[in-house]
């Protein structure tokens, strides 16, 4: 098999694997209750703020939702003590988002739970397989960095199934596949 064909096949395999991984993560978060009483969309907001998204307009763009929906999400998260809206020191008309300690902890709990589940499965692989995976992940990170440089900044593709986003209890009962934007 020529190198171009091998790269094309690897890319196609990765694109088929990502939606399955995203579906597993969404269902695992809700089934494991790592997000406490938070919906997937609320958890996505906490994650994005933790990763550096500081303005509500950025959240709307990254999650591909309307500013009105973002306002409702932020209202609920703020009322529950997960985040705060602060005046932007460089432009007092804008609000900056900041996680509270509770918001940071909720976001990190989800990441830790998913990481534990994945690590437990990876422990079944041989050392050489795990080393090969680490090398592959390094390569994938470089590829993603390169793709991001050549693409408009839209943010991560979000789960599109509104029921799973907005109702935490439904995710554990989901029997149909979660679709992703594509």
Q: Is residue 166 domain-resident?
A: yes
pLDDT (tens digit per residue) in 134-158: 999 999 999 999 998 887 764 444 4
Q: What is the CATH number of the domain that holds 32?
A: 1.10.10.10
Task: Measure Cα distances from 169 to 69, 72, 92, 117 in Å.
Answer: 20, 19, 38, 20
pLDDT in tens, 85-116: 998 888 888 889 999 999 999 999 999 999 99
Query: Is residue 181 one of the residues assigned to a domain?
Result: no
CA distance 85 to 50: 14
Give pTM, 2 decimals: 0.70
Alpha-carbon 177 to chain mean position:
17
Range of the domain at 79: 17-123+162-171
What residues have CB less than 8 Å from 117, skipping those under 6 apart?
Answer: 28
The label of the residue with tokens 């939702």 reads: 65
Is 131 part of a structural domain of the chain?
A: no
Domain count for the chain, please give it. 1
Q: Is residue 70 part of a domain?
A: yes
């Amino acid at each position: 098999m020529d190198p171009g064909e091998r790269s094309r096949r690897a890319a196609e395999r990765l694109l088929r694997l990502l939606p399955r991984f995203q579906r597993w993560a969404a269902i695992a978060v809700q089934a494991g209750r790592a997000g406490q009483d938070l919906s997937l969309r609320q958890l996505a907001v906490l994650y994005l703020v933790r990763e550096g998204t500081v303005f509500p307009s950025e959240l709307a763009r990254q999650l591909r939702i309307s500013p009105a929906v973002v306002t409702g999400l932020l209202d609920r998260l703020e009322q529950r003590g997960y985040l705060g809206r602060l005046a932007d020191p460089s432009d007092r008309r804008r609000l900056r988002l900041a996680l509270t300690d509770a918001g940071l902890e909720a976001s990190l709990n989800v990441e830790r739970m998913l990481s534990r589940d994945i690590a437990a499965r990876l422990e079944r692989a041989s050392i050489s397989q795990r080393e090969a995976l680490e090398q592959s992940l390094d390569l994938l990170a470089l590829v993603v960095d390169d793709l991001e440089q050549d693409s408009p900044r839209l943010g991560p593709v979000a789960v599109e199934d509104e029921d799973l986003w907005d109702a935490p209890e439904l995710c554990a009962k989901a029997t149909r596949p979660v679709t992703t934007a594509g």
